[in-house]
Amino acid sequence: MHTRYLIVGNGVAGINAAKTLVQNDPDGEIAVYAAERYPYYNRWQLPALLAGHKSQPDIQFYPEQWYVEQGIQVHLDSPVQALEPAAKHVILANGQAINYDRLLLATGGHSFIPPIPGADQAGVFALHDLDDALAIRRYAAQARRAAVIGGGLLGLETAHSLKELGLDVTVIEAFPRLLPRQLDAPGSAMFQETFEHLGIQVQTGAITKAIAGDGKVSGVELQNGETIPCELVVVSTGIRGNVELAAQAGLAVKRGIVVNQWLETSQPDIYAAGDCAEFDGQVYGIIPAAIEQAQVAALRMAGVATEPYKGTVPSTTLKVADIDLTCIGQANVEDESCVYVRFEDHDRGIYRKLVLREKKLIGSILLGDKRNVVPITKLIKGAVDLSAYADNLGAGDLDFRALLASAQSPASRYECSICGYVYDPARGDPEANIPAGTSFESLPSDWTCPMCGAGKDMFTKLEE
């Protein structure tokens, strides 16, 4: 008997689960039901599509033929309307019941639009789907000014796309700073300066009261009495999980569909992954989590041994040309058990914040510091002990790649056979401008012992 796998949702979670199932149960029958009419596309590239930097074919990741080649049955434009766990089937809009042995809910999320008076007028949008991006693009062709309500990552990317289309753009953020979830106050201040250089206006601490217009948008009214005139509004105030199907079927649901470390829901043979799932109180809302969850869920569904899902270290990057901003892990946690190390270089637009707990990095903000993103991510994910580097972490020229290499090879101290001086990569050689984290091997060939002037060849490795 072939196992019948049914996946609801054709986003990154659904597709990665389907791929994992193909690889691990080639005899299984895999069917994907998708509300959208498009084969799998890159949602994260919608701002680029809106700006006109990418075309629809550019972001279409898999054509329909791909599903055929993989042996995956895909049913586009086929939303699942109900789930009946006791009967082990789902119901489509036409009333048809589809049976499953194992079911994955990968229904993702939708844009949350707060109840703002006037939000139902022509010219008000949210950006979540391909159809949204195409509709905004069409409408923008007849607009001169736009307002984006919400200064989070997606709101800022959308604002930048609209600017690229030639519109005058204002971002309206209710919090006193941009990117309130990602940035602390000093980081946000420096970021805002860089962002405004793009020619986008920013209003922080600005509460939207209503969207003005006579059926068509004419402006955004703020609580302080000001009105920002515009013909187009994009509301970008967060995403909510698509949990209705699960809730109506009696599955445990909080902010997302509650899952355990195997991505199992409260009902047997029903799994959930991606933006619709809540693990350990968290709905991640990012691609890496959707992929990791989908893979564990699919392996479990196929009965293949796997490590449990333990959560994802979040990492988000702003995709706006000329601004390098990445936030990793718990970058914004305010906690007495944490140590914060900051480096700021206003002239070069660099802001780096490191958050440490028990001598280990748990989060970081990197603005204008792209080269350190990979090593810092590895230091966070690897929970590397940084005790030996504590005094040097605030140095602007600290090379985290070298630090990572040296932290991972603790036996790399070298002793001078002439004077006994020990070269410690954790300290570097400040007098010779050798930053902490530089391994002995990568010291310049003409480097000499700071105590006695002996050359590198006079040093021997300490076996520790």
Largest CA distance in the chain: 86
Cα-to-chain-centroid distance, residue 279: 16
> Coil, strand, or helix at residue 77?
coil
HSE-up (13 A, CA, CB side) for residue 288: 10
**12 sits near ligand FAD (criterion: CB under 6 A):** yes
Closest approach of Cβ 326 to ligand FAD, in Å? 11
- In the list 222, 245, 283, 434, the residue contacting ligand FAD (rule: CB under 6 A) is 245
Which is nearer to ligand FAD, 44 or 421 (by Cβ)?
44
- Tell me which long-range contacts 16-19 makes (C-beta under 8 A, separation of at least 24): 16/290, 16/291, 16/294, 16/295, 16/298, 17/104, 17/106, 17/273, 17/294, 17/295, 17/297, 17/298, 17/301, 18/70, 18/72, 18/298, 19/70, 19/298
DSSP string, 163-177: HHTT-EEEEEESSSS
Site string for ligand FAD, 271-290 (x = CB under 6 A): ---xx---------xxx--x
**10 sits near ligand FAD (criterion: CB under 6 A):** yes
Q: Binders of ligand FAD: how many residues, by CB under 6 A?
A: 33
Which is nearer to ligand FAD, 276 or 386 (by Cβ)?
276
CB atoms within 10 A of CB 308: 10
**329 sits near ligand FAD (criterion: CB under 6 A):** no
Kindly identify the residues of this chain, within the stretch 66-125, that bind ligand FAD according to CB under 6 A.
79-80, 106-109
Closest approach of Cβ 155 to ligand FAD, in Å? 10
**36 sits near ligand FAD (criterion: CB under 6 A):** yes
Site string for ligand FAD, 148-187 (x = CB under 6 A): ------x---------------------------------
**326 sits near ligand FAD (criterion: CB under 6 A):** no
β-strand 168-173 against 201-204: which pairing, if any? Answer: parallel
Write out the two tokens for 79: 């939303």
Site string for ligand FAD, 361-390 (x = CB under 6 A): ------------------------------
Are 146 and 230 a contacting pair, CB within 8 Å?
yes
CA atoms of 340 and 390, how far apart (whole Å): 11
- In the list 9, 219, 428, 435, the residue contacting ligand FAD (rule: CB under 6 A) is 9
CA atoms of 102 and 108, how far apart (whole Å): 18
Residues that bind ligand FAD (CB under 6 A): 8-14, 33-36, 43-44, 46-47, 79-80, 106-109, 127-128, 154, 242, 245, 274-275, 285-287, 290, 319
